[in-house]
Amino acid sequence: MNQKMLKQLLDEKYHQFNHASFIASDPISVPHRFSKKQDIEIAGLFAALLAWGNRTTIINSTNRLMKLMEESPHDFILNHSDDDRKRFEKWVHRTFQFPDLLYFLEFLQYHYKSNESLETAFSSGIGKMDTTIENGLVHFHRYFFSLPHLPRTEKHLQTPLRKSACKRISLYLRWMVRSDEKGVDFGLWESILPAQLICPLDVHVHRTATSLKLISRRQADWQTALELTESLRKLDPADPVKYDFALFGLGMEQGGKKLIK
């Protein structure tokens, strides 16, 4: 498949899957229930970081969290007390358990008490010459775990320094940064450019990208995510990660079958 045919295919699938009808069955539906910027940021962060496994389970788990936060996550984060945290004791999502959630609540309260948005937690680590969000992710991970915490909680937030593909946090940044007329992604943050985003590398995207020869590496790690995004930049330098919709959708459609031989 030549470059022209590849772009034609991915553009077609991007328009097919980047659609409002996509929202209801995806974890992004949780932050879409809110209109306040900070509520969207907080709901989106949990929805993205819990995004492994069955999508219905992910949505249900995140919605239960929002209910426990009285459907006003920013207000709850700012004003809740230690006693208020006890209500989360029975909440669990796979390996994400009560002690992990307690730290997330503590950090978010710490951050929002002196910051209007979660955007600065990422953007302050990105230099003017940075072409990707890599340094922003490294900075956010260090900042996030700058308070006393249990080592086990670190597995729920990835960093490029550990060679992780950083799929879930890259997905979160896609939601917060890029936007278009379709209205799936939010485009709330302006200090990070869509061109700097890295494509979330989940199993469907990895399989489809391999089949389309967009990547050559077999490991689903940070280097492969960079390689994939660089290939997508050749198709759209300003907004390469828009093709996440196409690659994910193709992967779901094909059900593991090769796209080309």
**Residues paired with residue 96 on neighbouring β-strands, in sequence order:** 93
Residue 258 has a pLDDT of 52
Tell me, yes or no, whether 149 lies in a domain.
Answer: yes
Tell me, yes or no, whether 197 lies in a domain.
Answer: yes
- Tell me how far apart the alpha carbons of residues 25 and 102 are, in angstroms, rounded to a whole number: 28
* DSSP structural state of residue 167: H
Residue 234 has a pLDDT of 97
- Tell me how far apart the alpha carbons of residues 100 and 151 are, in angstroms, rounded to a whole number: 10
Structural domain containing residue 176:
3-254
SS3 state at 201: coil
* DSSP structural state of residue 2: -
Tell me, yes or no, whether 196 lies in a domain.
Answer: yes
Give the tokens for residue 100: 């992990």
Tell me, yes or no, whether 261 lies in a domain.
Answer: no
Tell me, yes or no, whether 259 lies in a domain.
Answer: no
pTM of the model: 0.95
Give the tokens for residue 55: 């999508």
Using H for helix, E for strand and C for coil, what is the string for 208-247?
Answer: HHHHCCCCCCCCCEHHHHHHHHHHHHCCCCCCHHHHHHHH
Domain count, the chain: 1
Residue 52 has a pLDDT of 86
Residue 256 has a pLDDT of 46
Q: What are phi and psi of 211, to 5 degrees?
A: -60, -35
* DSSP structural state of residue 96: B
- Tell me how far apart the alpha carbons of residues 50 and 53 are, in angstroms, rounded to a whole number: 9
SS3 state at 186: coil
Condensed to tens digits (0 to 9), the pLDDT of residues 142-170 reads 999 999 999 999 999 999 999 999 999 99
The secondary element (H helix, E strand) that includes residue 49 is helix 37-49
Tell me, yes or no, whether 161 lies in a domain.
Answer: yes
- Tell me how far apart the alpha carbons of residues 184 and 175 are, in angstroms, rounded to a whole number: 8
Q: Count CB atoms within 10 A of the CB of residue 231.
A: 20
CA 203 to chain centre: 15
Tell me, yes or no, whether 260 lies in a domain.
Answer: no
Angle at 172 between CA 20 and CA 136, to 5 degrees: 145
Weakly modelled stretches of the chain, pLDDT under 70: 254-261
Tell me, yes or no, whether 73 lies in a domain.
Answer: yes
